[in-house]
Amino acid sequence: MTTKTLFDPVALSGLQLPNRVVMAPMTRVRADAGGLANSLMATYYGQRASAGLIISEGVHPSAVGQSNPGTPGLHTDEQTASWHQVTEQVHDAGGRIFAQIMHAGRISHEQTTGHQPVAPSAIRYDAAVFTPSGPQPASMPRELPTSEVPQHAESYAAAARRALDAGFDGVELHGANGYLINQFLSSNVNQRTDAYGGSVTGRIRFAVEAAAATVDAVGATRVGIRLSPGAGIQGIEEHDVAELYTALLVELASLDLAYLHLETGAADEVLDGFRRTWPGTLIMNPSNPNSPQRTERAAADEWLGRGADLVSFGRAFIANPDLVSRLRHGAPLAADDPKTHYVGGENGYTSYPPHPRAA
């Protein structure tokens, strides 16, 4: 039996990846006004193009779907055009990049978007969110009427079309961490009594419809999805994690998606069960999403041994643009500065140098 390593080349839906290292999506709020990507973002992603696959920061598919100020979008012609500099720089450096499509749902504020947030039910997120005037209590969301839900599922597909027009190699639907898809999956935020709530079948319906619409728009080989079973992020509760996500994975498997991207919020035995349920490519992110700890090499190797096909690294990529080489050569990993994560500018973004031993 051949042992998988992080540095094996691997095929992913027609793409040839030079290694199994994935750069996980991370919000960095460096976009220009109007949700436009810019040259600084192009440099940032281009510096990290040695990853087998880059998954971009969350990109909002509609104005009402935006979470924080400074995040980029993919719902206007100007936004679409602005991403070409990013995808071209990544491709020129030999990389591959998917756009993560992220509808914030209730994790938003009217000051940021000019719209009342939407959600499965009118249940406010009981915490502060970022706004143009600083942290503010999240706005009360508007419950989506049944007739309006499909247009928000379709917004993922519309953004995916734009992503491919902008040169992305594919898209990842953000179904994790308390955003709109995760809100529909939840036990507490989704209090609906129509076809999009109540039973497990109802609560997974929005996720399946969003994925199916996106597959219809751009093809299954260009669509992945990220999920965070049992993570409990941003006020989400899920009381039936194994049943809920097994049912969801069965439905998603019929769409033949490019990959499933899982976070490790659930118990190991539950996650191992999801690996057995999911017949396709699995990306694992070994860091607990509630922890500030970055993924280390040992955890990545463990998950490759447990059946993952690729391993995503988030925080480790912030201060280590040459992360693949550092891991390959055993060079030390630099520490990032949390104070620079969301402040804008080059410092703490494109300013981290490569390591001499990893060259």
Catalytically annotated residues: 179
Nearest alpha-carbon partner for 104 in 59, 161, 142: 59
Q: How far apart are the C-alpha atoms of 12 and 99, rounded to whole Å?
A: 15
CB-CB contact of 112 with 66 (8 Å): yes
Return the sign of the alpha-carbon dihedral for residues 125, 136, 173, 274: negative
Q: Which residues of 69-93 are buried (b: 16+ CB within 10 A; e: fewer)?
A: bbbbbbbeeebbebbebbbebbbee
Whole-angstrom distance, CA of residue 67 vs CA of residue 174: 13
How many angstroms separate the CA atoms of 307 and 299, rounded?
13
Biggest CA pair distance of the chain: 59
Distance of alpha carbon 310 from alpha carbon 282, whole angstroms: 7
102 SS3 class:
coil
Taking the C-alpha atoms of residue 186 and residue 232, their distance in angstroms, rounded to an integer, is: 9
Q: Cα(59)–Cα(50) distance, rounded to whole angstroms?
A: 22
What's the one-letter identity of residue 39?
Answer: S
| Number of residues that this document lists for the chain | 359
> What backbone torsions phi and psi does residue 271 show, to the nearest 5 degrees?
-65, -40
Helix, strand, coil in percent for the chain, rounding step 5 = 35, 15, 50
CA dist., res. 142 & res. 150, Å (int): 15
To which residue do tokens 């989506």 refer?
144
Among residues 184, 159, 210, 181, the alpha carbon closest in space to that of 56 is found at: 159
